[in-house]
Amino acid sequence: MYYQGAVESTANSESGSRVFLYEVVGLRQSEETDKTNYQIRQSGSVFIRVPYNRMNQEMRRISRLGGKIVSIQSMATLEQLNGNLAANSANGDSNKGNVETTSVANNATDKESRKKDKKGNTMTEAKSKKHGDVPVNIYRPKDPFVGKCLSNEELVGEGGIGTVRHLKFDLSGGDLRYLEGQSIGIIPPGVDKNGKPEKLRLYSIASTQHGDNLDDKTVSLCVRRLEYKHPETGETVYGVCSTYLTGLEPGADVQITGPVGKEMLLPDDPEANIIMMGTGTGIAPFRAYLWRMFKDEERKINTDYQFKGFAWLIFGIPTTPNILYKEELEEIQSKYPDNFRLTYAISREQKNKEGGRMYIQHRCEEYAEELWNMVKDEKTYTYICGLKGMEDGIDAALSAAAAKEGVDWSDYQKQLKKAHRWNVETY
């Protein structure tokens, strides 16, 4: 999955993921700008925070005021990068090439810390990670790793919508290590509209920690080429980094940073239940999870992790040709019917109970009782990845199911998050 930066940026609520920072130049002082809270200057840039649902409206407004948007950044991405810099400063780490790690272990004795919600339901904190420290920012924007593109394959079938590519990069000669659920940064070549080097974009890793070649020397991404209509001109605009990556030729160099992220890490418990709900390229981390759980070659080398739990993927896509990794997903379902359940929400082909398009939130409503029963199990971990718009529908479905037992879903969900059993990465 891709976290959009510039016009392609990641997004979350007012604290980050659904708010964007517009850098604007050329705003003129006028009666209309006097009514705004913009700090108009004769030169330089003005920075404006814009909620996702007002992006197009604000673009038109800025245009009327004579301004020009030179960059759009997700507040979530900026906050993450600032947090990494702050952590580095606090640690006194001035060596860019050094490996920086962050421990996720909460209890050295591996005892379970229990909490209860208002209804007395017992919540269990996640256990310490057996794999120890999590690698973070081994390579930074000022000193990226230069890998090579090994392959670039189309994932959308004939008659599908758009283009999505599976890219594999060679990591030989470097020290880039990662875990399932993390992301890497890609720095596209060239300069932006300001004449400055292009900024990195973050993408969820689509391969296991061993890579698609199982030799610990590759990393893979699932990238959709971003395209949208310009709100003023109506012309089609293509994302800078996504266009660069989807058109990358095998053998080409690529600048890579990271890895980053700890929100989406899998638990070490091989008997855990894993619920995955995703849309489009949000399949990326789930592909990594499923390959680690079920692929024969992976199971042979993961001697300390032999998955015995239950995994359920609810995958939202517009058409059947847009089912990414379809053959491999259905092979796993066929081979492990007792351990893996695969449910599609194909919006332009399937109908919900009201007769409208079938989205992932409708599937959650359909299976709300089953999902709620799984979520209550302290061995269940839920992961949501993709478009943020699905979250409200998921919450509504589970809220209704929980209410039947007198449980307030909002309170219960907060406890799940504290226990690292409800994990979300949406934009």
The catalytic site residues sit at 203-204, 385, 425, 427
Q: Are 137 and 182 in contact (CB under 8 A)?
A: no
Measured CA to CA, the distance from residue 242 to residue 250 in angstroms comes to 16
Measured CA to CA, the distance from residue 59 to residue 64 in angstroms comes to 9
Distances, alpha carbon 53 to alpha carbons 11, 13, 36, 57, in Å: 11, 11, 19, 8
Distances, alpha carbon 80 to alpha carbons 11, 12, 49, 298, in Å: 12, 12, 17, 31
**For residue 47, which of 27, 65, 72, 21 has the smallest C-alpha distance?**
21
Measured CA to CA, the distance from residue 416 to residue 378 in angstroms comes to 9
The DSSP output letter for 377 is S
How many helices (H) and strands (E) in the chain? 11, 22
Distances, alpha carbon 426 to alpha carbons 141, 187, 215, 363, 384, in Å: 23, 21, 30, 18, 7
Measured CA to CA, the distance from residue 338 to residue 326 in angstroms comes to 19
Using DSSP, state whether 322 is helix, strand or coil.
helix
- In sequence order, the 6+-apart residues with CB closer than 8 A to the CB of 368 are 397, 398, 400, 401
Provide, for the chain, the percentages of residues in helix, strand and coil under a 3-state DSSP scheme, each rounded to the nearest 5: 25, 30, 45
Measured CA to CA, the distance from residue 361 to residue 396 in angstroms comes to 9
Q: Which two tokens stand for residue 422?
A: 């409800």
Burial class (CB in 10 A: 0-12, 13-18, 19+), 423: buried
Using DSSP, state whether 117 is helix, strand or coil.
coil
Using DSSP, state whether 321 is helix, strand or coil.
helix
Cα-Cα-Cα-Cα torsion 266, 271, 275, 279, nearest 10 degrees, comes to 50
